[in-house]
Amino acid sequence: MTLTIPGFDHVRLPGADGVELAAAVGGSGSPVVLLHGFPQTHLMWRHVAERLAGEHTVICPDLRGYGASDKPAATGPEVYSKRTMAADVVALAAALGHERFALAGHDRGALVAFRAGLDHPETLTHLAILDVVPTLDMWDVLHGVRAAVGYHLFLMAQPPGLPETMITNSADAYFGSFLDTWAADPAALPEPVRAEYLRASAAAVPSIVADYRASAGIDVTHDQADRDAGSQLAMPVTVVQQDWGAQLGYDAADVWRAWAPDLDHRLTGAGHFMAEEAPDEIAGALRDLLLR
């Protein structure tokens, strides 16, 4: 049985290209869409969603290829491009009657949110990004032995076949390693939640790999085209990150400032799974953003 956010409705609605997304929807007020990261589902937002639901309609979808959402075959690079996944989110919100909404994303969901901000500036009122830099910049800052922290990015960038086989053959060990090493507070991922993430990820290996493979190809092409055109995010942006820049040798705030003129950049002492480890902090950052 799929775990979802207590007290929220669980629905299936159309995304782009005939794909259906599963989503948890609750609360009332101005809409806020929350996109999950890897190796997770919409369940990662449970604490933050409950905190925001008294003031906002909160929409937490599973990204295409993840959780209970459709997992189309990657017949071409565009199927799991962040452009297509962003179009899913816009279509999902429209199906719920929201032509404009605030959007927050964590990890993979943050890359989808970033692309949505560039492709749909008229649709997004506010944008929040948790613990990533844009795809183009991500590849630029991974150098030498320090790039080992992102080994999975290189593994899943390989041509179809070997990554899927390797991960499928050790799915719990592979996905579990990220849950274990990226959490500063393992208690934030109690066993039923951890088991749900492992179950959902093991059932979605080809589509998860396709999502990452897109970020070594078509997503870079899209980001580079926007950089060449001087495109920037038009809405207020909040970025909350661990201090990865200090470890990898770059200034994360400067990276984001180039894309987001109206930027509030924050560092957190929480681990990567900050929405679960520090929900009051993340809910507070989102509330501050929505007041800008």
Catalytic: which of 88, 107, 219, 223?
107
Strand ranges inside the chain, DSSP E: 9-14, 20-27, 30-35, 56-61, 101-106, 124-130, 237-241, 263-267
Q: Are strands 124-130 and 101-106 parallel, antiparallel or unpaired?
A: parallel
CB 66 within 8 A of CB 60: no
Cα dihedral sign for 236, 239, 240, 246? Answer: negative
* SS3 of residue 227 by DSSP: helix
Total Cβ atoms within 10 A of residue 69: 25
User: Is residue 106 flagged as an active site residue?
Assistant: no
User: Is residue 107 flagged as an active site residue?
Assistant: yes
What CA–CA distance (Å, rounded) separates 192 from 215? 30
Catalytic: which of 36, 42, 56, 272?
272
Question: How many Cα neighbours within 13 Å face the side chain of 277?
Answer: 16
What CA–CA distance (Å, rounded) separates 285 from 292? 11
Catalytic residues: 107, 272
